[in-house]
Amino acid sequence: MASTSPRARMRALSSGRALFGRLPLTGKIGVLILLFWAITVVSVQFWPLVDPLMMAGRRLQPPSGAHWLGTDALGRDVFSRTLHGAAYTIPVAVMVVVFAVVIGSALGAIAGYFGGWFDAVIMRTADVTLSFPPILLAMTVAAALGPGLPNAGLAMIIVWWPIYARLMRAQVLEVRTREHVEAAIAGGAGRGRVLVVHILPLCWTPTLINATMDFGQVALLAASLSFIGLGAVPPSPEWGSMISEGASKFYSWWIAFGPGMAILSVVLATSFLGDGLRDIFDRRGPQ
Amino acid sequence: MLRYIIRRILGVPFLLFGVASVAFLLSQSTKGDPLSALVPERMMNNPEIVSAVKAQWGLDQPLPVRYVIYMKNLVQGDMGTSFNTRRPVARDIADRLPATLELVTAAMIIGTTFGMGIGLLSARFRYSLFDNAARGFALLGSSLPIFWSGLIMLYIFSVQLKWTPGTGRLDARSTPPEHITGFYSIDSLLAGDWALLGQTLSHLALPAFVLGWSVVGIVARLVRSSLLEALSQDYVRTARAKGAPERVVLINHALRNALIPVLTVLGFTFAYLITGAVLTEAIFSWPGIGSYAVAAARSLDYPAIGGVTIVGATAFLLANLATDIAYAWANPRIKVSG
């Protein structure tokens, strides 16, 4: 199963350029799209765009040379708002994935390695959390915390951590029975050292692939919560709340078009990239 | 295997108990007075109502006692009173559930039909132009934000092309059929009202397609891969060697065996559709529990959100249970330990 050494795979992961070269075309497109949005997030405020919060022209104008994606009900430029929207949705999605991965993996690794009552408590909590349809749990938590993007982010971390806890626990349970772990224990390594040094480095691949694929879904849920009114608060140009504004001005289709395409591009890009990474790293399950 | 199934079924009440506990804790952690989560603002001035609600929900009692009371009320089907409708949440949900189930059922029929058709043809014409185009179509369905694709489709098919009517379950002036199942399509059929049936179906078509499209990819991918596996089996080679035409090999020999894993994904699909239904209903003004939940979330109507969450989680749990049982039944080889 692990014919190439895991260490070599880790090295391959660290050399990004070589990795990029091995991605299929769709995966490369995915990387470029995500790169575009990452650059947009950090630099959009310096771009020569009209202010996304100010009236830039007449209300509800269809796309034209002056306003590439038209103007919304308050006369704001939809193109500028769509690009600025990246700075709301994407950082939230990144934070949610990072926290869910770190918290979930830590709990799952400890649960899987030490077992006992901690394992039982964590995994039953995960079971209950996974019993909710994700959007309903996120809605309930976000409503209890009150509207706002940070609260929506917290709600999404609560929804997502159990997935990584389960994933990491299963990995740890598998790796801990390998011979090198037994050798380390026989050599007198402490339990913490065995877990951190000998087991965890071999457990990351599925988590990273999953995190990549989940990123788009997290962005989608963040936009969904904003669409419902539990995420970003107006007048923020968040993609979900822009679509919500578009839904209330139904005949001006262009208001929702830009943010919808933006969300679609992020979701497609991450699933392309995730698929590509899985084909490279996970030889067990090629599609 | 029987032991596995029994253990899974026995686990459901515990999970439901956990779900209800989480819903309780969330309703308690709302900012401010929990009373404000139970009594509509306008009724706050009425001391009789306030004290009655306090007694009913034990708000003068400590948290553990309140928890017991909440659970007792829940078991009796009392989820509190919605702020928006000022009716018991359980009544609201019972009234609206058939609309959601009709939408989800229709979406599931569309999703599995398209998914199986695409999967079948993709496996037959593997790596062809059709295969790639079909997989693109399926991928698009699962990547589109449903609250956006619904909006765009509504604009194209309802506003521009006028192929489908607008939002809602019926035209504004129509009266629903007599309540038998709560599914307007079945009820109007039972009433023999063909015009109403046509209207019902034309209203159902677009939201069901938008929602169904989101699961085409899951079904198509599974059908394709399990068919490809079946096509590489010895019995398929034997059938071909005996001169069976490709269509017979595909349908009679391979598909029949490939369908077993597909059956198991239906429960999962259903669970996925519950989530999608929330947003689809919001866009299409579909009077189900999803749009009810969205309206409740927008106005911070905690009892209503809690009620829908418990009902949704129950459906989700049962669908997942059905999936696991079907899977265990179809694959006796799977490990059932752990």
Facing A143 at nearest CB: one of B147, B283, B297: B297
Pick the residue from chain B with its C-alpha nearest to A142.
B297
ipTM of the prediction greater than 0.90, yes or no = no
In a domain, B338, yes or no: no
Residues B234 and B120 both lie in one domain: yes
Q: A46-50, B79-83, B176-180, B259-263: lowest mean pLDDT where?
A: B259-263
**Shortest Cα distance from A176 to chain B (angstroms)?**
16
Residues B32 and B149 both lie in one domain: no
> How many whole angstroms separate alpha carbon A259 and alpha carbon A265?
10
Whole-Å CA distances, A197 to A12, A118, A185, A200, B16: 19, 21, 12, 6, 39
> By the CB < 8 Å criterion, does A124 face chain B?
yes
Residues B160 and B231 both lie in one domain: yes
Q: Within 10 A of B13 (CB to CB), how many other CB atoms are there? A: 10
Average pLDDT, stretch B265-276? 79
Pick the residue from chain A with its C-alpha nearest to B224.
A287
A-proximal residues of B, 287-306, CB under 8 Å = 293-294, 296-298, 300, 302, 305-306
pLDDT tier at B8, thresholds 50, 70, 90: confident
> By the CB < 8 Å criterion, does A269 face chain B?
no
Q: Is the torsion defined by CA of B154, B159, B165, B170 positive or negative?
A: positive
Residues B100 and B240 both lie in one domain: yes
In a domain, B84, yes or no: no
Helix, coil or strand: residue A3: coil
For residue B106, pLDDT over 80 is answered with yes
Place of tokens 């704001």: A76
Contacts of B312 in chain A (CB under 8 A): 132-133, 136
For residue B327, pLDDT over 60 is answered with yes
User: What percentage of chain B has pLDDT greater than the value 70?
Assistant: 92
- Contact between A242 and A232 under an 8 Å Cβ cutoff? The reply is no
Average pLDDT, stretch B99-110? 93
- Contact between B27 and B303 under an 8 Å Cβ cutoff? The reply is yes
The answer for residues whose C-beta is within 8 angstroms of residue B282's C-beta and 6 or more apart is A227, A228, B147, B290, B291, B294
Structural domain for B169, as ranges? 92-330
For residue B176, pLDDT over 50 is answered with yes
Contacts of B297 in chain A (CB under 8 A): 139, 142-143, 228-230
Whole-Å CA distances, A43 to A84, A86, A87, A238, B198: 10, 11, 9, 17, 53
Query: SS3 sequence, A144-200?
Result: HHCCCHHHHHHHHHHHHHHHHHHHHHHHHHHHCCCHHHHHHHHCCCCHHHHHHHHHH
Helix, coil or strand: residue B279: helix
- Contact between A80 and A49 under an 8 Å Cβ cutoff? The reply is yes
Q: How far is CA A263 from the centre of its chain?
A: 12
Residues B325 and B191 both lie in one domain: yes
For residue B338, pLDDT over 50 is answered with no
Contacts of B294 in chain A (CB under 8 A): 139, 228
- Contact between A232 and A241 under an 8 Å Cβ cutoff? The reply is yes
Place of tokens 């039972």: B190
> By the CB < 8 Å criterion, does A136 face chain B?
yes
Average pLDDT, stretch B33-40? 64
For residue B209, pLDDT over 90 is answered with yes
In a domain, B80, yes or no: no
Domain count, chain B: 2
* B61 phi/psi in degrees, rounded to 5: -95, 160
- Contact between B124 and B250 under an 8 Å Cβ cutoff? The reply is yes
Residues B186 and B279 both lie in one domain: yes
Whole-Å CA distances, B38 to A70, A136, B61: 44, 20, 15
Residues B58 and B98 both lie in one domain: no
For residue B300, pLDDT over 90 is answered with no
Q: Name the CATH superfamily for A6-35+88-234+248-281.
A: MetI-like (1.10.3720.10)
Encoded amino acid at B332, one letter = P
Facing A220 at nearest CB: one of B145, B155, B309: B145
Contacts of B309 in chain A (CB under 8 A): 132, 136-137, 139-140
A-proximal residues of B, 90-149, CB under 8 Å = 139, 143-145, 147-149
Residues B182 and B316 both lie in one domain: yes
Facing A133 at nearest CB: one of B15, B31, B275: B275
Output the DSSP codes for B220-268.
HHHHHHHHHHHHTSHHHHHHHHTT--HHHIIIIIIIHHHHHHHHHHHHH
- pLDDT (tens, 9 = 90+) of chain A, 287 residues, equals 444 566 665 665 566 777 788 888 888 999 999 999 999 999 888 888 888 887 777 888 888 877 788 888 888 888 889 999 999 999 999 999 999 999 999 999 999 999 889 999 999 999 899 888 888 999 888 888 888 889 999 999 999 999 999 999 999 988 888 888 888 888 888 888 888 888 888 888 889 888 988 898 899 999 999 998 888 887 888 999 999 888 888 788 888 999 999 999 999 999 899 888 888 876 554 33
> How many whole angstroms separate alpha carbon A262 and alpha carbon A65?
20
Instruction: List residues bridging with A77 in a β-sheet.
Output: A71
Residues B63 and B125 both lie in one domain: no
> By the CB < 8 Å criterion, does A266 face chain B?
no
Residues B115 and B38 both lie in one domain: no
Facing B151 at nearest CB: one of A127, A141, A247: A247
Facing B278 at nearest CB: one of A136, A240, A260: A136
In a domain, B70, yes or no: yes
pLDDT at B287: 92
Residue B190: CATH number of its domain: 1.10.3720.10
Contacts of A141 in chain B (CB under 8 A): 26
Are the beta carbons of A136 and B275 separated by less than 8 Å?
yes
